[in-house]
Amino acid sequence: MASRSARHRGLAAWLGRIAAAAAAGYLGYISVEGSRRVVRPGRRALEPDVEGGPATPADIGLPYEEVRFTTDDGVTLSGWLIPAERETRGAIVLLHGFSGHRLPQLLAFVPWLRTRYHVLQIDFRGHGASGDAPITLGTSEQRDVAAAVHLLQGRGLGPIALMGISMGASVAIMAAPDLPVAAVVADAPYAQLHNPIANRMREHGYPLASIGARLVVAAASLRARVRLRDPLARVPGIAPRGLLLIAPREDRLIDWTQSGRLYEAAAEPKELMVVDGASHSEAHAVEPIEYERRVLAFLGRYLDGAAPRPSIGAEAPV
């Protein structure tokens, strides 16, 4: 009996070592492949997602100027500056999501935003028509937002608000504390980088998603040669600027509770809008009238002179 028990223990230890080696190999593969997909995803061409969709603001009857400008680390960015319908100096920088470009927001957001304010749409580094660079989910993209703000200031525009969807929302949160902007609208932001990565892994059936996602973030930092940081650590610095967080409750990519965590960590003034029945980046599509009313009312308080503006300095750091 003793020898049989010893054999069982030996077999169990041997199987345990095999399982540990397999798990380590799997997690190593996830780290390498996942970080590649984060830092260097396939670039989508700046073309309409549907046949016959608008390719420029002119296709929906809007005047615009094509702009190209450079960040302080030498990346050339591409965008459109769409003038406001009314006489104003207020402006909005509109920021898209991961692996996308500016076109989806052109039809959904620009027409009603420009009734009040100038709108600058940009493609982030490594996206759309902008220059090539590693994607860092917010850390380096802060430089893109700073350059956009500097461009608007050079045109004599301001006060300025940042508005982003998904990754663009999180980049806006990360960039705002260091910039002379008056407000931030963040639709479906992540508070922690690992959250959307883990959810995407679960969607595709990968095990150990929580551990794997954290390893992907760490490996992406090494691949991009810059530490990828969580927006949660930056959101307290947005005050005294206004912050409006929009959370699609049925979001399966970025848990809607991520907006709740950001709201709890932020200082006043802050607002949280939860949209029932909306999936990722679909809050406006589900409740367009209330969405536009809430966003324009919020922006009006900070861009039309009713709310105090932060004393950050005359120009954005670029």
pLDDT at 313: 37
Distance, in Å, from the CA atom of 217 to the CA atom of 165, rounded to the nearest integer, reads 21
Asked if residue 166 and residue 121 are part of one domain, the reply reads yes
pLDDT at 13: 55
What CATH number is associated with residue 256?
3.40.50.1820
Q: Which residues contact 81 (CB under 8 A, 6 or more apart)?
A: 64, 65, 67, 118, 119, 120, 151, 155
Does residue 87 form part of some domain?
Answer: yes
Domain that holds residue 299: 56-193+231-303
Asked if residue 273 and residue 174 are part of one domain, the reply reads yes
Does residue 312 form part of some domain?
Answer: no
What are 144-195's pLDDT values in tens digits? 999 999 999 999 999 999 999 999 999 999 999 999 999 999 999 999 999 9
What are 105-130's pLDDT values in tens digits? 999 999 999 999 999 999 999 999 99
What is the pTM assigned to this prediction? 0.90
Does residue 49 form part of some domain?
Answer: no
pLDDT at 159: 97
In the chain, the number of structural domains is 2
Q: Supply 60's token pair.
A: 């929906």
Does residue 311 form part of some domain?
Answer: no
Asked if residue 266 and residue 150 are part of one domain, the reply reads yes
Domain termination site, one of 228, 244, 279: 228
Asked if residue 115 and residue 251 are part of one domain, the reply reads yes
Asked if residue 122 and residue 33 are part of one domain, the reply reads no
pLDDT at 275: 98
Asked if residue 26 and residue 151 are part of one domain, the reply reads no
Asked if residue 12 and residue 105 are part of one domain, the reply reads no
Does residue 316 form part of some domain?
Answer: no
Asked if residue 16 and residue 147 are part of one domain, the reply reads no
What is the DSSP code string of the chain?
-HHHHHHHHHHHHHHHHHHHHHHHHHHHHHHHHHHHHHHSPPPPPSS-SSTT--SSGGGGT---EEEEEE-TTS-EEEEEEE--SSS---EEEEE--TT--SHHHHHHTHHHHTTTSEEEEEPPTTSTTSPP----TTTTHHHHHHHHHHHHHHTT--SEEEEEETHHHHHHHHHGGGS--SEEEEES--SSTHHHHHHHHHHTT-SSHHHHHHHHHHHHHHHHTS----GGGTGGGGTTSEEEEEEETT-SSS-THHHHHHHHHSPSSEEEEEETT--TT-HHHHSHHHHHHHHHHHHHHHHSSSSPPP---SS---
pLDDT at 276: 97
Low-confidence ranges of the chain (pLDDT < 70): 1-24, 305-318
Asked if residue 236 and residue 223 are part of one domain, the reply reads no
Does residue 50 form part of some domain?
Answer: no
pLDDT at 318: 28
pLDDT at 23: 60
Asked if residue 262 and residue 131 are part of one domain, the reply reads yes
Does residue 310 form part of some domain?
Answer: no
Tell me phi and psi for residue 244, to 5 degrees.
-115, 115
Asked if residue 127 and residue 246 are part of one domain, the reply reads yes
Does residue 175 form part of some domain?
Answer: yes
Asked if residue 178 and residue 103 are part of one domain, the reply reads yes
